[in-house]
Each structure stands twice: as C-alpha cells, then as structure tokens.
Chains A and B, each alone.
Chain A
Amino acid sequence: SQQGEEDPQALSIQEGENATMNCSYKTSINNLQWYRQNSGRGLVHLILIRSNEREKHSGRLRVTLDTSKKSSSLLITASRAADTASYFCATDGVTSGSRLTFGEGTQLTVNP
C-alpha cells in the first residue's frame, strides 16, 4: 500500500496565490521528500526534511513536518504559471532501507 497520500488530488489557483498541498503517511520515517513532475517528464527533487526537523524553507517553498500526526505540508508562495505540475511526497521509512515510497500526487494548475 502507498505510504504517502497527498491531499488534495487536484488544485487550481490564480497566479500570485499560495498553494498548499498535504501529505500523510503511515509508518515511522527517516525523512520525507517532495518532488515535482512536469507532464511527461521525470521527477525533480524539491526539498528533503528529516524526521527531527519541523520546518524547512527553500526559495518560495516551505515544508512542514508533524511526526506526531504523520503528516507534512508543502506551501508554494506567490505561485507562477510555471509552477503548474504534479507534486509528490515520498517517504524514506525507518525499515525501508534506501527505498522511497511515493504518494499519488497533487496536480497543481496555476492560471495566469
């Protein structure tokens, strides 16, 4: 079964607005990662947050992690049309070795 589940499945916003995507997981993790996928392409790593971290920033991205609730959120501020893509969370489970488990993704559409 999938370790990570994203919410919502799809999100449509206007340029300049903020976009928030959530991810829930089931087992203990070493870290949680967020990836972006443009249509028909490979995934690109955005940010990694370790289990002992609560918040991390990278440019317009802000990721939070709540290990007590087994959940994470990705916030994209001041969105642009170029941010249109699918976003996936992936967990590196404590017992999974080097294998990441991906969620189903959130399809973000930013309208100009």
Chain B
Amino acid sequence: SQTIHQWPATLVQPVGSPLSLECTVEGTSNPNLYWYRQAAGRGLQLLFYSIGIDQISSEVPQNLSASRPQDRQFILSSKKLLLSDSGFYLCAWSLVKSPLHFGNGTRLTVT
C-alpha cells in the first residue's frame, strides 16, 4: 500500500534562517506531488505542485521554492524565512484525476 512520510512534525526557526521540509512517497510511481500551507483555522493554499521530476509549478510568488530530485521525493525550501512563513505545511500525493493523500504535516513557527 501507499504511504507518505513528511518531516519534521514541528519546527521552530528564527527569522532569516533557511528551511528544508522533506516529503517522500512509497508504494506508487510517478505521483503528482503537492505542497500546501494552512493558516490557523483556515483552508489550504496550494504552494507548489509537480507532475514529474524537475516539473514544478509555483502557485504563489514568495520566498519559498520546491524541488523534486527523485520521483517520490518532494522538498520545500527557503533561503531566508519570514515571520509570515509560519503555518502548517502539508505534503500530498495523487494519481491523475484521483483524490489527494496527505502527510501528517509540519507545524512551522518562525520567531
């Protein structure tokens, strides 16, 4: 069966520090991969999605970037975090036209 791993679960980082969140999927090939951000008590904002290695689309211009070095690995990065980057980050995968499967999320607090 397919599983998705996302880490770390929580992270506290100072303003201006770098960020690297990692997500891996097991049990499927060539999945679509997504990074979402969720503000407290709000819906999900799509940040990046990828339909294949090195094929990444950005939905929101900001100081975040994403990479997909391997078929089932998706990384969210930042060179310098802002206070506004705080939030709950969710990685997800899907097959074409199929429901999303989410990881357990990373709670990021930028201080």
A interface residues (Cβ-Cβ under 8 A, vs B): 2, 4, 30-31, 33, 35, 40-45, 48, 88, 90, 92, 98-105, 107
Contacts and interface: CB of A to CB of B under 8 A. Distances in A.
Nearest to A86: B41
Given A45-B101, A99-B34, 9 more contacts: A2-B43, A4-B43, A43-B44, A43-B90, A45-B100, A88-B44, A99-B49, A104-B42, A105-B42
A101 B41 CA distance: 16
Contacts of A2: 43
A42 B43 contact: no
Interface residues of B, number: 26
Contacts of B43: 2, 4, 88, 102-105
Contact of A44 (B6, B36, B94, B102): B102
Interface in B68-94: 88, 90, 92, 94
A30 B102 contact: no
Interface class of chain B by DSSP: strand
B99 A45 contact: yes
Interface class of chain A by DSSP: strand
The 9 closest A-B pairs by CB, nearest first: A42-B102, A45-B99, A102-B44, A104-B43, A102-B43, A43-B102, A42-B104, A98-B32, A42-B105
Contact of A98 (B94, B102, B107): B94
Contacts of A4: 43
A24 to B, nearest CB: 13
Contacts of B44: 43, 88, 102
A45 B32 CA distance: 16
